[in-house]
Chains A and B, each alone.
Chain A
């Protein structure tokens, strides 16, 4: 089946620390990959995406590279801010499954000043 596994949280960092949130996937086809972010009390916002192998998605200082050989899409940021505190979801979608999003369990990020 299709599934996404991401590292458990919460992840607690100090401001300006380096962030990595690991994400791996299994898929029956060639998926598109996403990172969504959910700030407290809000809906989901697309953070970045990649649609084919070796694509790098980037936004607001966050980056993730689609690695087909390791079936991974790890999220990184060089210097986190308190305002980055949120829940981060890795997800995949497949055209043959109506483009429904299959989400990982989410990783809570807490950034301390």
Chain B
């Protein structure tokens, strides 16, 4: 299937642990993003990479570290998890170009920190 995929779909963990979420796209896109959706459904950008280079880094605690091994993958590593990190994390990708602005979203990873 041609899509943006994320693993895992659900992640339940204890406070203080370190965890990673993986994202892969097979759409041939150059740009990938991480968004966080809180319990009230509000969505906010966290990071964006273009061809493995970080281009957007919003005000996110440095416990969050994105890593892009190649342009098809953007992983999110979270250290020392806190209760407030509980959310749904969405990965997205988009092609490069002035008119190619649509972002394609993955199914999301629901992170629950206990």
Contact of A87 among B41, B94, B106 (CB under 8 A): B41
Contact-size category for B: 20 to 34
Residues of B within 8 A of A38 (CB): 41
* Chain A residues within 8 Å of chain B by Cβ, number: 25
CB distance B42 to A43 under 8 Å? no
Kindly state the separation between the CA atoms of A99 and B40 in the bound complex, as whole angstroms.
24
Q: Mark A100-112, 1 if CB is under 8 A from B, else 0.
A: 1111011010000
Q: Which of B60-68, B73-81, B97-105 contacts A (4 or more CB under 8 A)?
A: B97-105
| B31, closest chain A residue (CB) | A99
Kindly state the separation between the CA atoms of A44 and B108 in the bound complex, as whole angstroms.
9
Residues of A within 8 A of B90 (CB): 43-44
CB distance A99 to B105 under 8 Å? no
Residues of A within 8 A of B33 (CB): 100-101
B114 within 8 A of A: no
CB distance A44 to B105 under 8 Å? yes
A51 within 8 A of B: yes
Interface of B toward A, CB cutoff 8 Å: 31, 33, 35, 40-45, 48, 50, 55-56, 58, 90, 92, 94, 98-99, 101-108
Interface of A toward B, CB cutoff 8 Å: 32, 34, 36, 38, 42-46, 49, 51, 87, 89, 93, 95, 97-103, 105-106, 108
